[in-house]
Structure 1
Amino acid sequence: MDLLKTVFGIDVSSRKSNVCIMVNGKKVNDYAISNDMVGFNRLIGDLKQVTKPQIIFEATGVYSRRLQAFLDMHELRYVMMNPLEAKRKTKDDLHQNKTDNRIYEQASHDLISNKNRLHKAVQLTFPEIEHLMVNPRGKNYWSIALRFPHPDIVLETKEADIIDFLKGLSGIGKKRANDITQSLIRLAKVACPAVKKNSAHVRGLKMAINNILSAEEECQTALQEMAKLAPKRDLEILTSIPGIGENTALRIISELGDIRRFNNPSQLNAFVGVDPQVYESGNLTAHLSISKRGTAIGRKVLYLAINQIQSAKKAGNPCHIADYYEKRKRSSETASHKKAAIASIHKLLRTIFALIKNDQLYSYDVAKHNQRLLS
C-alpha cells in the first residue's frame, strides 16, 4: 500500500496566506488564513491531522517571518523557496544576525542624537560638569549627570551621600569617589546656570541621559547576539586586519554573510553596492558612480572600517589598504576623501574575500609582497 504524501503549499502576503493542500500530487483543499494566531491555529489543526506533512512557502521578507516563527515554535519542518534565505536559516542564521545589526544601527543613531541633546541641555543647566572627568562620556559620567544635573542639587546634597553614590558606580573606589566629590562640589560652587533646578531643561537633560543609557544597552545586547551567530574563524580573520576591532568585524560579518558563497570579489562588490554603474549608448561607454544596489548599512560600516584602518596606521599599525588610500589621495590633488575611501573599500573587500577563502590571517608583509607581484 502506497503511503500518502501530503504537501501544504502556502502563499504568504502581508495580511493573509493562501493554503493549498495536495495529497499525492492532487489538490484536495485550499483556503485563506489570516496571518495571526487565529489563522495559524487553524493551519496547525490541519497539520496535526497528517503524518509528516511537507510544508512549503516562499520567503517574502517580513511577511513570512511570523509564519516561520510559528512553525519553529511548534518544531515543524518546512522548506522556503528562496534558497539564500533557506541557507541563512539552516546554516548560521545570518538573517537574524543582520537584524541585530539593524537594531545596533538604530540604537547608535539614537545614541548620537541624545548625546547632542544632552550637550545642549548641559550648557543651560550645569556646563561645568563636563570638566568633571577627562572624557565626558561613558556610563559613569552619564550616571553622575543624571543624579546631579544642576549645581544646586550638588550643593544641597551631603558630601558623604555623594561619595556613597559614586562608590556604587563601576570602577570607582573610595579615594577616587572622594576626589570626584571634591571636584564636583568645587564646580557647583562656581557654576552660573541659565535655568532653575526644576526647569523643563533639567527634565529634558534627564530624559536624554535615560535614552542614552537605554541605547547603549541596546547596542551591547545587539553586539552580543551578533557574536553568538558570527563564525568564530571569520571574526578572527577580520580582526587580524589592523584597525578593525571586534565590534566593526561583527557588523561586517552581519552585513556580508558567508563570504564563501561568492565566486569572486566582483560579486561581493555588487552585493555591497560599490560596483560602478556603466552607461552604454551606441559607441559610448561611461563609468558612472557606484551602483548603491546593495546594503547601505554595509557600505557605511565598510566606510567606517577604512577610517579605522587609517587611524591604526597613524598609531603604528601599517596596512596595505591604508597605503593604497594615501596613494589615491596623492595621485590627484582634487581627489576627495570619499572617492579615495570608496576605492579603498574595493581593496578591503578583495582582501576580506582572499583571507576568508584561503583561511588566512592578515599579514602586512604578505600583502605588500602580493601587491608587488600584481604591479
Structure 2
Amino acid sequence: MDSLKTVFGIDVSSRKSNVCIMVNGQKVNDYAISNDMVGFNQLLDDLKQVTNPQIIFEATGVYSRRLQAFLDMHDLRYVMMNPLEAKRKTKDDLHQNKTDKLDAMYLAKMQSEHPQRLAYVQSEEYQELMANNRIYEQASHDLITNKNRLHKAIQLTFPEIEHLLANPRGKNYWSIVLKFPHPNIVLETKEADIIDFLKSLSGIGEKRANDLAQRLIRLAKLACPAVKKSSAHIRALKAIKHILSAEETCQTALKEMAKLAPKRDLEILKSIPGIAENTALRIISELGDIRRFNNPNQLNAFVGVDPQVYESGNLTAHLSISKRGTAIGRKVLYLAINQIQSAKKAGNPCHIADYYEKRKRSSETASHKKAAIASIHKLLRTIFALITNDQLYSYDIAKHNQRFLS
C-alpha cells in the first residue's frame, strides 16, 4: 500500500467524523470515529500504515478545529477545504442523497482525481491573532445588535438623553443612561447626587459634572416619555451592561493583537492612507504571514476575491468572486476600502482610491460594491508588494510603479 496513492476523506460533524479511504481512486474502507482522543487515535493508527497519506476535510468551524489541532500535533499535512468551494467542485457528481458517508467519499474522490493544495500551517502567534480577531468580530456584532435594540427602547423612555453628550456612544454615555433611564428618575434625584455620580465617570471633573447635571435636568424637564419609569422597557435597558462588556471584549482583543502582530508589518500597513491601527491589526490577523504567498493571485484566492471561471465547450465566462476564503477577511478589506476613500476626501491621496473612482466612472451602472471588490484586488497587490519588499507606502511611487498599477 505504501507505493500507492492513499487518500483519507473526512467529513466532520459535531460529535463524530466519517472517514473514507481511497487507494488509487478506489474505495477500500469507510468508518466513523468519535471526535475525541479515542477516535483520533484510531484514525492515526490507519494513517501510520501509509507513506505520505493525503488527508482532506472541510473547514466546519469549531467542529473541524479539534481534528486540525490533532493533525498539527502529529505533523500531518492536510487539505482543508472551504465548504462552498467543496460544494462547487463536487456538484457535477449530482449526489442527491446527501449523507456523511457520501460526503467523506466525495472529498476523497475529489482529492484522488484533482489534488488540492495542502493547507499552510501558520505559527501559533498567527493562530492567536486570528482567534482574537474572531472574538473581536463577534463582540462587535453583539455591540451593534444591542445598541440598535437599546436605541429603540430609549426612544420610548428618555430620547432627549441622546443630546446630553456630543458622542452618545461611549462608556460614559451608556453609564449615564443605565443610571438615569427615565426623566422622572432624574427629577427625583438630588442635584448634588447627580453631580457626584457624573464626577465618578472617567474624564469628568467638577466643572463638567456641574454643567452636565444642569443639562441633564433641563432635558428631563423637556421630556415627554411614552412609558412610565416602572415599564418593562426600563428593565430592558439593563442590557447596557452587555454593551459595556462587549466594548471591553473588543478592546482586550485589540490589545492582544497589538502584542502579537509583527511590528514592521503593522507599520507598513498603517502607512497606507486611511488604514489606522485597528484595521491594520485585523488585516494582519486574517491574512496571516503574507510572505508565505508566491504572488498576489494566491493572496486573492486565499481571501476569496478571485473570480470564478466557467468553461463549457468554446464558452469561457467569468462569474462572481469565488468566496472560498475567509468572509471576515473580505469584510475587513471592504471596510479598509471605505476608509481609504474617506482619507482621500480628507486630503490623503492613495492610488487605490484613484482606481476606485476610475472604476466608478468607467460604467454608469457600476455599483459601489463592484468597484470596492475590484479595489480590494488592488489593495491586496499593494500589501503584497510592500511587505515582500519591506517598503512603506508612497503615493508618488505607487502612481509610477507598474507593480501597483497592473
User: Which TM-score applies when normalising by structure 2?
Assistant: 0.72
Residues 169 and 345 of structure 1: is their aligned pair in 2 closer, same or farther, counting only changes over 3 Å? same
Identity level (%): 91
Supply the distance in 2 between the matched residues of 1:295 and 1:89 (Cα, whole angstroms).
Answer: 18
Give the secondary structure class of the aligned counterpart of 1:192: coil
Contact 1:244/1:309 (<8 A) preserved: yes
Supply the distance in 1 between the matched residues of 2:397 and 2:170 (Cα, whole angstroms).
Answer: 39
Supply the distance in 1 between the matched residues of 2:24 and 2:370 (Cα, whole angstroms).
Answer: 59
Cα deviation per residue 1:109-132 (whole Å; 9 max; x = unaligned)? 111111111111111000110111
Q: CA deviation at 1:134?
A: 1.4
Supply the distance in 1 between the matched residues of 2:62 and 2:69 (Cα, whole angstroms).
Answer: 11
Q: Tell whether 2:171 aligns with 1:139.
A: yes
Residues 178 and 47 of structure 1: is their aligned pair in 2 closer, same or farther, counting only changes over 3 Å? farther
Supply the distance in 2 between the matched residues of 1:247 and 1:197 (Cα, whole angstroms).
Answer: 39
Q: CA deviation at 1:6?
A: 23
Cα deviation per residue 1:126-154 (whole Å; 9 max; x = unaligned)? 01101111121111111101100000110
Correspondence for 2:395: 364
Contact 1:251/1:301 (<8 A) preserved: yes
Worse-superposed segment, 262-271 or 16-25: 16-25
Supply the distance in 2 between the matched residues of 1:351 and 1:41 (Cα, whole angstroms).
Answer: 44
Q: CA deviation at 1:229?
A: 2.0
Paired residues, number: 374
Q: CA deviation at 1:345?
A: 0.3
Worse-superposed segment, 84-93 or 260-269: 84-93
5 Å matches for 1:1-375? 15=15, 62=62, 100-206=132-238, 208-371=239-402
Supply the distance in 2 between the matched residues of 1:299 and 1:188 (Cα, whole angstroms).
Answer: 45
Give the secondary structure class of the aligned counterpart of 2:401: helix
Residues 262 and 94 of structure 1: is their aligned pair in 2 closer, same or farther, counting only changes over 3 Å? farther
Residues 312 and 73 of structure 1: is their aligned pair in 2 closer, same or farther, counting only changes over 3 Å? same
Contact 2:178/2:240 (<8 A) preserved: yes
Worse-superposed segment, 14-23 or 170-179: 14-23
Supply the distance in 1 between the matched residues of 2:271 and 2:140 (Cα, whole angstroms).
Answer: 25
Give the secondary structure class of the aligned counterpart of 1:90: helix
5+ residue gaps, structure 2, are 100-131
Supply the distance in 2 between the matched residues of 1:6 and 1:281 (Cα, whole angstroms).
Answer: 31
Contact 1:97/1:229 (<8 A) preserved: no
Residues 17 and 169 of structure 1: is their aligned pair in 2 closer, same or farther, counting only changes over 3 Å? same
Supply the distance in 2 between the matched residues of 1:277 and 1:91 (Cα, whole angstroms).
Answer: 15
Residues 368 and 76 of structure 1: is their aligned pair in 2 closer, same or farther, counting only changes over 3 Å? closer
Q: CA deviation at 1:228?
A: 2.3
Supply the distance in 1 between the matched residues of 2:169 and 2:368 (Cα, whole angstroms).
Answer: 28
5+ residue gaps, structure 1, are none
Supply the distance in 1 between the matched residues of 2:56 and 2:313 (Cα, whole angstroms).
Answer: 46
Q: CA deviation at 1:276?
A: 0.7
Supply the distance in 2 between the matched residues of 1:366 and 1:2 (Cα, whole angstroms).
Answer: 54
Residues 48 and 179 of structure 1: is their aligned pair in 2 closer, same or farther, counting only changes over 3 Å? farther
Residues 23 and 353 of structure 1: is their aligned pair in 2 closer, same or farther, counting only changes over 3 Å? closer
Contact 2:57/2:81 (<8 A) preserved: yes
Q: CA deviation at 1:21?
A: 20
Residues 257 and 288 of structure 1: is their aligned pair in 2 closer, same or farther, counting only changes over 3 Å? same
Q: CA deviation at 1:271?
A: 0.6
Worse-superposed segment, 286-295 or 227-236: 227-236
Cα deviation per residue 1:250-280 (whole Å; 9 max; x = unaligned)? 1111111111000000010011111111111
User: Which TM-score applies when normalising by structure 1?
Assistant: 0.77
Supply the distance in 2 between the matched residues of 1:54 and 1:281 (Cα, whole angstroms).
Answer: 30
Worse-superposed segment, 7-16 or 86-95: 86-95
Contact 2:58/2:86 (<8 A) preserved: no
Contact 2:139/2:250 (<8 A) preserved: yes
